[in-house]
Structure 1
Amino acid sequence: MKYRLGPDGIHVFDRATGWNVLLDEIVVPEHQWSPGPRQVSIAVTNTCDLSCSYCYAPKHRAAAPAEQLCRWMAELDAAGTLGVGFGGGEPTHFRALPEVCAYAAEHTGLAVTLTTHGHRWDNQLVASLRGAVQFVRVSVDGVSDTYERLRGRTFPALLDKLGLISENFRMGLNCVVNSDTVTDLTAVAALAEQQRASELLLLPEQPTAARPGATSAVIELMDEWVRSYDGPVPLSISAHIGTSLPIAEPLPLESGLRSYAHIDASGYLRATSYSSVGVAVGEAGVLSALRELEEAEAA
């Protein structure tokens, strides 16, 4: 059980179950607020064996040293961060992934999540991560022909991997929403239900140098689908990019870098994984870089 102090009160979190309780009747003085972001995502490598046209992750070679990751996690844990999310690239290409996850489990109170395309998972990887990873997010952009066209892998192969992951970990599905996938959302939600997913996360496509991102028409179709959805799998959305949907804000005062930050595989701290402004995490650590980034964003 971990406690985080902030402007909304005392946040109680259990990483084993994902259980959250906010004691919002308690006013916490500002000088006692936890200094770390509530959640930090870390790209452990830029390497990926897929070539999705809408991917915005950097393509140059980079990977975070395992010793550095462990130092960052120890610092973030002491600063009140509740969890880290490892991604990339494809995090299963990172050779030290089992050791880094085991460090988090044994030496910190951080919850560990992974975001993966799922195709590299096997019984050996499952055994090496079981007990050290609390949640696995699998990227599923469309189903059947749509998935195969966008991801370049067979859909039956994905289903096999989803079964393996869901049998051993709490699992959620991620879906990039664009003109190719928005009409598949009902089928993706049905897949999430079949695979006993805990959540379906909708990720409106981000613009890149080659693509404009999700258009207003796509966002409108997504909004209409969400309003009509009555399935059992909870829905989440990455950001309100022009959306008209009502968004639940359980911690409305804990926003911006107090809520979330990202560290890329080159060791730069950013507000999000697609932000162009970054600060190198040096020997002074993550919190020092966080203060520098806050100053840069305020300038």
Structure 2
Amino acid sequence: MTARRLDLDGAVLLFDRDTGKNVLVRGDETRDAVQTAPRVVQMALTNACNKTCGFCYRPLEARSAWTFDEVLAFGGFLTRWGVLELALGGGEPTVFPKFPDLVRRLWAETGLAINFTTNGTRLTDELLDAIRGSVGQIQLSVYDDEDLDGAIDRLVARRVRFGLNYLVTPARLRTLDADLLAWSARGVRDVLLLSYKGEEALHLSPKELRALDEGLVRCHDHFEGRMQLKVDVCWSTRLPNAPQLFFDPDCRAGALFLSVTSDRRVLSCSFAEGGVPFERFEELPAIYMQLKTARLAAPKPGCARLPAHGLGARRRRALPRYAELT
């Protein structure tokens, strides 16, 4: 295993992009380690998308400012800074001009693991063949109106490391067990259960949260490691019984990961608003250290840093703003 190293606060993380393996080292010898770079940078490669989903949270007015050469240069900077992974999103990243070439060159010319999240509509045989061996993991978002099974079959046939992004809403909760069983039979081995951030109507009620919590325990016992069931950090303390390898009531946004927008702003996470604009890559380490300390919340119901997750009567509170960092 050829691993890259990232110092955390009081620990050291070793990561091998070829296998996806992480090794966390913590002891007397790591006591003085300080994290000065995020583990992952989530980059909105473009704000363009070939779908118009009602639940999409991206700012539609944001411009797409990145060029092919700028993204390559950005990847080189992130490697020198110490970042381990670059996660490409959007918009829909596969609509970015010369996307397969970009992925191949980022993998070949940087030390980063290159991942991307896609709606799957452009996940063709040709694209998958073009990026073979040049991507760490593909996250495939689940849409009810797309050919999910076809995309899964293409990924499984090529033995690509991939996972499904499954947004858990009240309607989807009712079919969760059946969906997981069907995907497992089709060859899916990784599912990330996303919590909703936005209008309260699509959030789970306390009763539905308990049902999800119990269902995850049941599914964990059933699959016995054949499928990795993951929960995003925004669930925080709302799933107290679901087995979790790592648990932290704080999401670590702005510390473990950082979000960069299509119009060159820095956010703690992709659900935040505003952000800190930048022109030169060299500005990012200082911005990162500010965000790491500030622990800003996203002003959307569902954020783990809001009282009661911003749901119900306790959602209103004055929050620090990005403008106050500059």
TM-score by length of 2: 0.78
Q: CA deviation at 1:164?
A: 1.0
CA displacement, residues 52-77 of structure 1 (integer Å, 9 cap, x when unaligned): 22221222353222222222222221
- Measured at CA, do residues 75 and 228 of structure 1 come closer, stay the same or move farther in structure 2, by a change above 3 Å? same
| Larger deviation, residues 3-12 vs 166-175 | 3-12
Identify the residue that residue 240 of structure 2 maps to in structure 1: 245
The correspondence of residues 39-118 of structure 1 with structure 2, limited to 5 A, is 39-60=40-61, 62-63=63-64, 64-118=66-120
User: Could you say which residue in structure 2 is the equivalent of 1:3?
Assistant: 5
In structure 2, the CA distance between the partners of 1:140 and 1:5, relative to structure 1 (3 Å rule), is same
- Cα distance, 1:248 vs. partner? 3.2
**5+ residue gaps in structure 1?**
142-146
1:144 is matched with which residue?
A: none
Aligned partner of 1:175 in structure 2 is 166
CA RMSD of aligned residues (A): 2.6
> 1:207-226 residue pairs with structure 2 within 5 A?
207-208=198-199, 212-217=201-206, 218-226=208-216
Deviation at 1:212, TM superposition (A): 4.4
Matched positions, count = 284
Q: Which residue is 2:317 aligned to?
A: none
1:20 is matched with which residue: 19, 22, 25? 22
Unpaired runs of 5+ residues, structure 2, are 297-319
Cα displacement (A) at 1:268: 1.2
CA distance in structure 2 between the partners assigned to 1:215 and 1:202 by the alignment? 13
| Equivalent residue number for residue 234 of structure 1 | 228
Shift of 1:241: 5.0
- Structure 1 length normalisation: TM-score? 0.85
Alignment partners' CA distance in 1, 2:163 and 2:175: 17
Q: Give a deviation string over 1:234-276, Cα, whole Å, max 9, x none.
A: 1111122551335432799993422111112111111111112
Flag the 1:125–1:19 CA change in 2: closer, same or farther, 3 A: same
* Aligned residue number for residue 176 of structure 2: 185
Distance 1:220 1:3 in 2: 39
Deviation at 1:100, TM superposition (A): 2.5
Identity %: 23
Contact 2:255 2:288 in 1 (8 A): no
Write the mapping of 1:115-194 to structure 2, written as runs, cut at 5 A: 115-141=117-143, 147=144, 152-153=145-146, 157-168=147-158, 169-194=160-185
Counterparts of 1:276 and 1:167, CA distance in 2: 39
Which sits farther off after the overlay, 282-291 or 198-207?
282-291
CA shift in 2, pair 1:55/1:222, >3 Å: farther
Deviation per CA, 1:51-107, whole angstroms, max 9, x where unpaired? 222221222353222222222222221222111111111111111322332232112
Deviations 1:140-171 (A, max 9, x none): 15xxxxx2xxxx33xxx321121112223111
Residue pair 1:76, 1:286 contacting (<8 A) in 2 also: no
Instruction: Tell which has more relative contact order, 1 or 2 (C-alpha 8 A, sep 6+).
Output: 1
